[in-house]
A and B are shown apart, each in its own frame.
Chain A
Amino acid sequence: MLDRTDAEAISRRVRRRILSTIHSAGAGHAGGSLSSVEILVALYFDVLRLDAANPKWPQRDRFILSKGHASSALYSVLVERGLMESDLLRSFGRIDSELQVHPDMHRLEWVEISTGSLGQGLSVGVGTALGARLTGSDFATYVLLGDGECQEGQVWEAAMAAAHYRLDSLVAIVDSNQAQLTGRTSDVMDICPLRDKWAAFGWDVVEADGNDVIAIRQALLVPRGSRGRPSVVIAHTTKGEGVSFMEAGGHTWHGRVPTAHELDLALAELADAGRSKGGEPRECN
């Protein structure tokens, strides 16, 4: 298990990679990638059962990036975890690249399923969890969703199915950064009370500070598989986390590419080893 100092240093390096990658490609989604960093670091370093030498090991835990636009965060974490060459990041979004702006399973082995059209990942997770049961496998399935993404009806169709089939090997994670593409989630289409919605659909709900790598890891490691219920971790995060002006900009940094100057400012903030995340609870009401 990573200790806090290492985990936070890794998270900062991931953030630097995300922003450099997006800047050099002129494409990608900074805000929602930055909010997901600690969730992905916790998953890939300490939670997911995987074989670094064999991305397709049948007993691996499945991870589905339902909010596919956060690909730059996934790719950067794969690099930090030693699962992918860092050079590849330079090809992000370019013609013939393995690294599509929305992850493509045919191009990169670590991608379980192609995503980018929001709302589809949890259904696939229901399928892999059912598949695990039917094939007698004990792997778990983790699905990362955006909070705006939870507006898609398909998410709730999948939620209903997961509870109906008592899929306790399925864990959904909502990156609840309170913002989406055109505005604050509560202004665009309020999804609150999110905890009550999931609970009413028959899920066990855990809430955690999603930008505190230790807190989110603890939430992800809560023992499961006994109660016959799927579980969801509501990760309270900040869109643009780690870069002050992106945090302040909220949704305006959803798909904006930082200029060279903005990149410099951001990298300078992220070089600073100081800021350790304290877990102030962020509530959805």
Chain B
Amino acid sequence: MSATDDVVSTREAFGKTLASLAKENARIVALDADLASSTRMSYFRDAVPERFIQVGIAEQNMVGIAAGLAHTGLIPFCGSFATFISRRACDQVALLVGHTRLNVKLVGAYGGLVSGNNGATHQAVEDIAIMRAIPNIVVLEPADDIEMGMAVEAAIEYEGPVYLRCTRDPWPRVSPPGYRFRIGKAACAAEGSDVTFVCSGMMVSQCIEAAERLSCEGVSAEVINCATIKPLDAEMILSSVRKTGAVVTAENASVIGGLGGAVAELLGSELPSPTVRVGLQDEYGECGDNVSLLHKYGMDVEHLVEAAGKAMRLRDQRSGAKHR
């Protein structure tokens, strides 16, 4: 894991990759609802202005227009803040994108709690749950710029609806050299045998740091970077949990219905195991700098280490009870 200067945010990586791929693929079009500078679709606008469609501050209309464009065989990317693309345009996403299975790509910039000090209205904490609950939508949250670049390519190759979630700020890079992202495949970011972290987005680097701290305490933690939240890589998660028997999920979102929800659903039916879900605990966020926010809302490295301890304690209590 490195936090070198050349690491850029996932929104930046999204914008640059989309612009460069669009130069070679005339089917790609981009729609913006007056946020291109924030979503970094501005790169696309500058590179291929003839295929950039500005709709104004009208997210619902944007998603409808995208459905129409996809209907004609184009590959539209709709960009906005993650809040507005999910909450504001929810019905349009469900019926014009999910139900139709049209080839629309939805891009939510400023995912989660750490979204540029704008407070609750701009903190997308339900977007993963919303997108995941709608049938037919692939939900992706890459952990760093490298993975985002590959995810944009994969989203273009994939025929069907995709939700691509970005963060505003750069977080440490986690992709190892030679890494290949594939839709539906999670990646093991650190191997371990005592506890499993299942995480996505900027929480992957946080979990790797937590695993490093745990190793100083003699605990061996596995970190699974689950960049595809739907469809979930059940195989990799189950094989890790068979080994560790204790799970912490970590996401920059509400613990309800998102990655934590998905993992709990999987384990509940396949392999019941103590699962501690780190994320926003069913409440709204607020303004503040990233460090203060992650601390106050129980999502920093310290809390991840504690959560791992709790998951392992629960596992040990349970196995103790079985032996008695």
Closest B residue by C-beta to A107: B286
| 6 pairs, A vs B, C-beta closer than 8 Å | A68-B121, A95-B287, A104-B119, A114-B121, A116-B118, A153-B60
Q: Tell whether B296 is near chain A: CB-to-CB under 8 Å.
A: yes
For the complex, what is the distance from the CA of A223 to the CA of B55, rounded to whole Å? 37
Q: A27-B117, A102-B119, A180-B34 are in contact. Are A117 and B57 (CB under 8 A)?
A: no
CB atoms of A95 and B293 under 8 A apart: yes
Q: A182-B34, A182-B35 are in contact. Are A149 and B121 (CB under 8 A)?
A: no
Q: A116-B122, A118-B57, A152-B58 are in contact. Are A101 and B117 (CB under 8 A)?
A: yes
B35-48: CB near A (< 8 Å → 1, else 0) gives 11110001000000
Nearest chain A CB to B123 CB, angstrom units: 10
Chain B count of residues within 8 A CB distance of the other chain: 32
For the complex, what is the distance from the CA of A101 to the CA of B293, rounded to whole Å? 15
- Which residue of the partner chain, among A93, A97, A189, contacts B55 with CB atoms under 8 Å? A189
Nearest chain A CB to B22 CB, angstrom units: 18
Q: Tell whether A26 is near chain B: CB-to-CB under 8 Å.
A: yes
Total inter-chain residue pairs, C-beta < 8 Å: 94
The A155-200 residues at the B interface (CB cut-off 8 A) are 180-182, 188-189, 191
Q: Which residues of B contact A (CB under 8 A)?
A: 32, 34-38, 42, 54-58, 60-61, 83-84, 87-88, 116-122, 286-289, 292-293, 296
For the complex, what is the distance from the CA of A181 to the CA of B39, rounded to whole Å? 12
List of B residues within 8 angstroms of A104 by Cβ: 119-120, 286
List of B residues within 8 angstroms of A149 by Cβ: 57
List of B residues within 8 angstroms of A182 by Cβ: 32, 34-37, 42, 54
- Which residue of the partner chain, among A95, A97, A116, A152, contacts B57 with CB atoms under 8 Å? A152
Q: Tell whether A100 is near chain B: CB-to-CB under 8 Å.
A: yes
Q: A189-B55, A189-B56 are in contact. Are A101 and B119 (CB under 8 A)?
A: yes
CB atoms of A93 and B57 under 8 A apart: no
Closest B residue by C-beta to A26: B117
- Which residue of the partner chain, among B34, B58, B288, contacts A95 with CB atoms under 8 Å? B288
CB atoms of A153 and B58 under 8 A apart: yes
Q: A152-B58, A188-B54, A188-B56 are in contact. Are A102 and B118 (CB under 8 A)?
A: yes
List of B residues within 8 angstroms of A96 by Cβ: 286, 288, 296
Q: A101-B119, A119-B57, A151-B56 are in contact. Are A181 and B286 (CB under 8 A)?
A: no
Closest B residue by C-beta to A29: B118
CB atoms of A181 and B34 under 8 A apart: yes
Q: Tell whether A94 is near chain B: CB-to-CB under 8 Å.
A: yes
List of B residues within 8 angstroms of A117 by Cβ: 83-84, 87-88, 121
Closest B residue by C-beta to A91: B287
A94-B287, A94-B289, A102-B122 known, 4 other contacts, Cβ within 8 Å: A95-B286, A95-B296, A102-B120, A151-B56
List of B residues within 8 angstroms of A11 by Cβ: none
